[in-house]
Amino acid sequence: MTERLRSAQWYTGQDRNAYHHRAWMRRGVPADAFAGRPQIAIADTASDLTPCNAHLAEVALSVRDGVYEAGGIPLHLPVVSLGENQMRPTAMLWRNMAAMAAEEMLRANPVDGVVLLGGCDKTIPSLLMAASSVDLPAVVVPGGPMLTGTWRGRPLGCGTDVWRLSEDLRAGVISAEDYAQSESAMIRSRGHCNTMGTASTMALVAEALGMVIPGVAGTPAPDSRLLQAAHASGRLAVEMVGADRRPGTVMTKGSFHNAIITLAAIGGSTNAVVHLLAIAGRLGIDLTLDDFDRIGSRVPALVDLQPAGRFLMEDFHRAGGLRAVLHQVRDLLDDEALTVTGRPLVDHLDDAPVFDNEVIRTRCRPLLAEGGIAVLRGNLAPDGAVIKPAAASRHLLRHRGRAVVFDSIEDFHARIDDPRLDVDADCVLVLRGCGPKGYPGMPEVSNMPLPKKLLERGVRDMVRVCDGRMSGTAYGTVVLHVAPEAAAGGPLALVRTGDMIRLDVPERRLDLEVSEDDLARRTPSQATIAAFAAPARGWQRLYIDHVLQADTGADLDFLTGSSGPHVHRDPH
């Protein structure tokens, strides 16, 4: 096996370079560490500043044991960690950087395979992007959701109840004291958000792509079975090196078909759209925004989880997890798409019963008849926008209203609660300057808080339109990922307060009721232009100059495609 190992390029032979490489790595490793034993990196996103991933250091130890047991050499490799709740201006600004850094570290070092440890929203996408570009054998171990916290006898959904309780506070429904008490009860244990937010969605979607051992995604972070799965993933990584089973052979067009079906069936986050497009772009797979509507928009939503439903991820795991969901939609899946086990995904669904059909619905009694992402087009979104009907109000899916425009998030915060703001429940809130270039980084601000004076009257949803994203834990009738964004010259930059906007989700339309001649005469306001002022240096400068739009995944233009694992020059 030695001759076939990539690491042999570093360690085999008696020349000075091989001596140098081996000598510096002989720090307690077995004597035969360089004699045909696969070198397995454990790409670990554990960080105290990414609290959802902090426990991955323990998970990495179980991976290490599995690698050793299977005859490999485990190598701990800390990689860039992105904490969704902590980083300003938005963790999405660094997703591509994290992917690029992980890719380069895997390529530059003598490793034959990798186990990818992620949890919080951007960590699994960035690791999958990196693994796709370097194309070394790889398996994902998701960090898992936290256990359900409770307050005053009712369960709390991370993120979803943050939005609900903050609106209740602004509406005067609860006191500041109650609000503070609920905060201390929100986070019960280690792990990421316990709703069907982006973290849980991307873990489950990674399994649907074939990159997680079937049945593992969704295992709660404190559950000892997660460590068992981590051990098994370490063993599997060694096997995958021997079989030369790589991301490029696991993740095919059929795998993305399965991921889109999964996204719809679980009622997953809209953020999965931009991440899947980016991963496909690294693999050279022709995946488009329209594929999400064509494949998934009419798939029934079967999972009754917040934000679209009632339950939380601990319930989902108890009810049978993803395998039980996929068993219900097995006839819709690509039956040839492989997993990291070397077997097709559908082969792992034979014994996958639903144990609680309130949490996971059967096909004949879905939560929603159509649970997928709807892709909208029109003169306000020529390159597309998305909406999650499962999280929207039914009566607003067809709506016509007067635009109330905000040029930036700062403008929004300054005016939204002004009692003089000319706004009513039928208006359409428009927030621009929040796309990949404009913010920069495409933050989760699209689910704008409603005007306080409307909240006090009992209004709980309005149509909102934005070129940014929203948290997967959020809800509401929100049109997001509008492309091109305002900062890239999209029509969103030309909307004026008072313009009429028509949303028609069944017809997949988003239109500004202004004539083409009138639009041609308009230019962005000075306030809009000022809001798009770009930083002059560092990563943000590079990002703004090269980031693509949301409809293709918001990757950097020079990072699409795969460069493979090969490095031909030695450092000495």
Write down the H helix ranges in 416-515. 452-455
d(CA 146, CA 425): 36
Residues 193 and 253 in one domain: yes
Beta strands (DSSP E) in 45-137 are 73-78, 113-118
pLDDT digits over 184-194, tens only?
889 999 999 99
pLDDT digits over 147-160, tens only?
999 999 899 998 88
Residue 60 located in a structural domain: yes
For residue 502, the surrounding DSSP H or E stretch is strand 500-504
pLDDT digits over 468-512, tens only?
999 988 889 999 999 999 999 999 999 999 999 999 999 999 999
User: C-alpha dihedral over 77, 555, 538, 42, to 10 degrees?
Assistant: 0
Q: What pLDDT sits at residue 444?
A: 95
High-pLDDT (> 90) share of the chain, %? 85
Residue 318 located in a structural domain: yes
pLDDT digits over 191-207, tens only?
999 999 999 999 999 99
Residues 175 and 193 in one domain: no
**pLDDT exceeds 90 at position 464:** yes
High-pLDDT (> 70) share of the chain, %? 99
| Across 120-128, average pLDDT | 97
Q: What pLDDT sits at residue 1?
A: 53
Query: What is the domain count for the chain?
Result: 3
Residues 410 and 271 in one domain: no
d(CA 431, CA 498): 14
Cis amide leading into 440 (omega within 30)? yes
Residue 381 located in a structural domain: yes
| Across 249-266, average pLDDT | 98
Choose one of 185, 203, 233: the last residue of a domain.
Answer: 185
Q: What's the first-to-final CA gap in the chain, in angstroms?
A: 26
Contact status, residue 429 vs residue 464, Cβ threshold 8 Å: yes
- Residue 62 identity: S
Residue 435 located in a structural domain: yes
Beta partners for residue 401, in sequence order: 501
Burial class (CB in 10 A: 0-12, 13-18, 19+), 374: buried
Residue 563 located in a structural domain: no
Residues 233 and 262 in one domain: yes
Contact status, residue 424 vs residue 460, Cβ threshold 8 Å: no
Residues 55 and 160 in one domain: no
Q: What pLDDT sits at residue 3?
A: 60
Report the predicted TM-score, pTM, of the whole model to 2 decimal places. Answer: 0.96
**pLDDT exceeds 70 at position 534:** no
Residues 101 and 224 in one domain: yes
Q: What pLDDT sits at residue 475?
A: 86
- Residue 524 identity: P
pLDDT digits over 69-104, tens only?
999 999 999 999 999 989 999 999 999 999 999 999
Q: Tell me the two tokens of residue 429.
A: 């809130």
**pLDDT exceeds 60 at position 2:** no
Nearest alpha carbon to residue 274 among 441, 105, 59: 441
Which CATH number do you get for residue 402?
A: 3.50.30.80
Could you list the residue range(s) of the whole structural domain that residue 110 is in? Answer: 38-148+188-348
Sign of CA dihedral 563, 564, 569, 571: positive
Sheet holding 113-118, edge to edge: 73-78, 39-44, 113-118, 138-142
d(CA 553, CA 320): 31
Residue 353 located in a structural domain: no
Average pLDDT, rounded, for the chain: 95
Residues 224 and 325 in one domain: yes
Residue 30 located in a structural domain: no
What does the DSSP assignment read for 198-264?
HHHHHHHHHHHTT-S-TT-TT--TT-HHHHHHHHHHHHHHHHHHHHT--HHHHS-HHHHHHHHHHHH
**pLDDT exceeds 60 at position 139:** yes
Residues 461 and 522 in one domain: yes
Report helix, strand or coil for 193: coil
Residues 403 and 469 in one domain: yes
Q: What pLDDT sits at residue 242?
A: 97
| Across 288-300, average pLDDT | 95
Residues 49 and 177 in one domain: no
Residues 134 and 161 in one domain: no
pLDDT digits over 339-386, tens only?
999 999 999 999 999 999 999 999 999 999 888 899 999 999 999 999
Residues 262 and 273 in one domain: yes
Residue 15 located in a structural domain: no
| Across 445-473, average pLDDT | 95
Q: Tell me the two tokens of residue 63.
A: 């991976």
